[in-house]
Amino acid sequence: MISFNLDLDGQGGPLTTPNRSSPDPAAEVPDAGDLRLRYYPDPVLAQRCRPLGAPGPAAQACIQRMFELMYEHQGIGLAAPQVGWNARVFVANVDPDEPTTDAERVFIDPQVDPIADLREVAEEGCLSLPGIRLDVERTRSVRVRALGFDGEPFELETDDLLARCIQHENDHIDGILITARVSTLQRIAIRSDLRELKSQWDKQEGRT
């Protein structure tokens, strides 16, 4: 069983970025200092994010801030909507004890495809859903085409934990949360947890 924090009520969807007849507008770049971890049921977690393209200095600062927040909250992956940024960007480091540039990975405007039909179930958590763990079925290996931190395109084939992390974070930038990837019985089992998270979020946002 694999248990880890990643960055839930959402709609199911394909692994690959959906094709659109007309391109989405480009993502705006916020001030990196404004980024903070967002929690269920923040509406930002349910949106399909906008493409970013090659990052300039301001976007790179936001990406660096995402790594800071990911480590602060003891995660191995974090997607832009989880920090309030509407952009098709996520970061990962499946070995967080090694916060080096070699271990850190940046995925901008990714396209994710399964390599084979082999699937497996493992336990996942989500930084935006503290305290919740669900058994999620994923493809074991994936191929990713994306832009990196320097704006250069790259292709990666990977499996196991990194492949699972990539699929989890890629779901986030399509507004898909892990509750959409599990059985009805699992969703029923966490109803009270979701109600508690919503109550906490309402208080934080001044809605009560």
- Which residues are identified as catalytic? 169
Two tokens, residue 183? 């059985």
What beta strand segments (E) does the chain contain? 77-79, 89-92, 105-114, 119-126, 129-139, 141-147, 153-159
By the 8 A CB rule, do 122 and 129 touch?
A: no
Alpha helix (H) ranges present in the chain? 57-72, 160-172, 184-189, 191-204
Q: What are phi and psi of 142, to 5 degrees?
A: -140, 160
